[in-house]
Amino acid sequence: MKELLSLFSTFAKVGVMTFGGGYAMLPILQREVVENKGWATEEELADYFAIGQCTPGVIAVNTATFIGRKQSGIAGGIAATLGIVFPSLVIISLLAGVITQFSELTWVKNAFAGIRVCVCVLIFNAVWKLGQKSVVDRWTAGIFAIVAAGAILTKISPVAFVLFAAVCGIVLQTLLKKGGVGQ
């Protein structure tokens, strides 16, 4: 029960501290899950983000579910999921009735403009950290470059990019183990 409460409270903390959606949660998830709790490695977290991107739902919720399930089975998955959505549920319920009254105020618009810039920096920081752990040789750099170009220049679904990268990873690792391509 203590582990379930820890999962709930940790993910509630992530949920309450995050503005800007699932991607904005990435740096906070990384700090809490990898650095503070040790529930996942950087590589595992990157895998959870990738799988979370391919599955229905919000990436942070999916990631919380994966980590909770890893730690404490189905009950852990449920506790972590409830933890990450609970703050938003409460805050949105409270704001829903009054948001339209304040959304046109200049200071509110300016505050959200500043928050959006901050969220961009937080997401960039998470991407930078993940990139340092993920792009480890010329082959992963090549996959990164192809996917980045495709994501920037096309409107292809992120799922297609993840599947492409998975196939590339399988093929390249198979060829590297057989000595078919140089490292």
Q: pLDDT by residue (tens digit) across 16-33?
A: 876 666 667 778 888 899
φ, ψ of residue 41 in degrees (nearest 5) = -90, 170
What is the structure's pLDDT at 55? Answer: 76
Helix axes 138-153, 158-178, angle to 10 degrees: 160
Percent of the chain topping pLDDT 90: 34
Q: Quote the CA–CA distance of 108 and 29 in Å, as a whole number.
A: 27
What is the structure's pLDDT at 111? Answer: 86
Overall average pLDDT of the 168-172 stretch:
91
What is the structure's pLDDT at 102? Answer: 79
For residues 47, 49, 53, 56, the Cα torsion angle rounded to the nearest 10 degrees is 100
Of 86, 123, 65, 122, which is closest to residue 9 (Cα–Cα)? 86
| pLDDT range class, residue 180, cuts 50, 70, 90 | low
pLDDT digits (tens, 9 = 90+) for 54-107: 777 778 888 899 999 999 999 999 999 999 999 888 888 887 777 777 778 888
Domain boundaries, the chain: 2-130, 135-183
| pLDDT range class, residue 36, cuts 50, 70, 90 | very high
pLDDT at residue 148 above 90? yes
Q: Quote the CA–CA distance of 10 and 67 in Å, as a whole number.
A: 11
